[in-house]
Structure 1
Amino acid sequence: MTGDQPARRANAPVDHAAGVRLWEEYRAAHPDRALDPEPPSVERFGDHADLTDELLALVLDGTKTATAGLVAEFAHEGQPLPRIGSHWIACDSAGRPRVILRSTELRIGPFTSVDARFAHDEGEDDRTLDTWRDGHRRYWTRVGAALGFEWTEAHDIVFERFDVAWRSLT
């Protein structure tokens, strides 16, 4: 970490067992919607605790209805790319599953293909395209370095819109 970066609190490991329990609650309540052939992935937004909790709060209050991830991240984690109608479970920084999300729209493209509407739907900062680009450049530069590659704007990105399908009661 360089001297000009603030110390970042790490996320706790996600609680996969609690994620399975949350998925089973959802499946029991909505068997007509929980049709994924495999249990959904249990993951989180962001790469440090403060960012994770900030982004999750935006999801929970309805501001954040979209997200973007590097195709390389999915490959590194051995995760399949999302599909329309598939689900995933988002955890807070303590690793607790808080919400099940359902993918409603997906597109793969380069960094330069993001538009103002998508930036707004991500709900971050002032919701403008300029701040989206600035924040995501910094984020994916960190992610690339952590995964051992140099991120460039040419890397493929999964642009995803989602609905909140189920909230944890705890």
Structure 2
Amino acid sequence: MYDKLIKEHQLDLNKYRTAWAFMVGNPWENSSDARIQINPTMFEEADQLAKLVLDGTKTATASALSGYDEGEHIPEVDGKFDILLDGHGKPVCAITTTKVYLVKFDQVSSEHAFKEGEGDRSLLYWREVHENFFKEFGLFAHDMDIVCEEFEVIAKF
């Protein structure tokens, strides 16, 4: 689907992993995935987060380890790249993972919160927003495992 775009930007097609947006599930696929919950602000939020990545403010993200399906791999530093989509499914850039580590929710650092680039970039803001998000999906616990991922933009579209 993205072969032409990948070639145009002189990226190695063999290193392409997947395309995704900052939202739960993929609303552009026909899917019975119960995790997909369309809400009016979801697309707007995905657009805002993609812009933060493009301007270099957002260089990290986090997810709940318990939110991964059995057999689903967590991000890894493997030299591959993903295509980041905006809230409307349009490719905005290619990113590669540079660091991945697991930490308990209450142990996420202020440095990581800053790298996520959201709100005032404080740890307090990060905890509030992520606690609310994880609660929506019944995943929250103060001692839950968080997958912290850092990435860099390797091509802008």
RMSD over aligned Cα atoms: 2.1
Report the counterpart of residue 108 of structure 1 in structure 2.
Answer: 102
2:120 partner SS? coil
1:154 aligns with 2:130: no
Structure with greater proportional strand content: 2
Give the AA of the match of 1:73.
G
Report the counterpart of residue 165 of structure 1 in structure 2.
Answer: 154
* Distance of 2:144 and 2:83 partners within structure 1: 25
Report the counterpart of residue 74 of structure 2 in structure 1.
Answer: 81
The within-5 A match list for 1:1-170 is 17=1, 19-26=2-9, 29-31=10-12, 36=15, 39-47=16-24, 48-75=42-69, 79-84=72-77, 85-142=79-136, 144=137, 149-168=138-157
Q: Given the superposition, is the C-alpha separation of residues 135 and 80 from structure 1 closer, same or farther in structure 2, using an over 3 Å criterion?
A: same
Aligned length: 139
* Distance of 1:74 and 1:99 partners within structure 2: 24
Query: What is the Cα deviation at residue 90 of structure 1?
Result: 1.0
TM-score of the superposed pair, with normalisation by structure 1: 0.72
Give the percent of matched residue pairs that are identical in Structure 1 and Structure 2.
Answer: 30
- The answer to whether the Cα contact below 8 Å between 2:66 and 2:139 also exists between their aligned partners in 1 is no
Gaps spanning 5+ residues in structure 1: where? 1-16
* Distance of 1:122 and 1:55 partners within structure 2: 9
Gaps spanning 5+ residues in structure 2: where? 25-41
Q: Given the superposition, is the C-alpha separation of residues 35 and 50 from structure 1 closer, same or farther in structure 2, using an over 3 Å criterion?
A: same
Q: Given the superposition, is the C-alpha separation of residues 164 and 114 from structure 1 closer, same or farther in structure 2, using an over 3 Å criterion?
A: same
* Distance of 2:17 and 2:120 partners within structure 1: 31
Q: Given the superposition, is the C-alpha separation of residues 134 and 20 from structure 1 closer, same or farther in structure 2, using an over 3 Å criterion?
A: farther
- The answer to whether the Cα contact below 8 Å between 1:46 and 1:55 also exists between their aligned partners in 2 is no
1:105 partner SS? strand
Query: What is the Cα deviation at residue 75 of structure 1?
Result: 2.1
* Distance of 1:121 and 1:110 partners within structure 2: 17
Structure with greater proportional helix content: 1
* Distance of 1:166 and 1:66 partners within structure 2: 17
* Distance of 1:155 and 1:131 partners within structure 2: 18
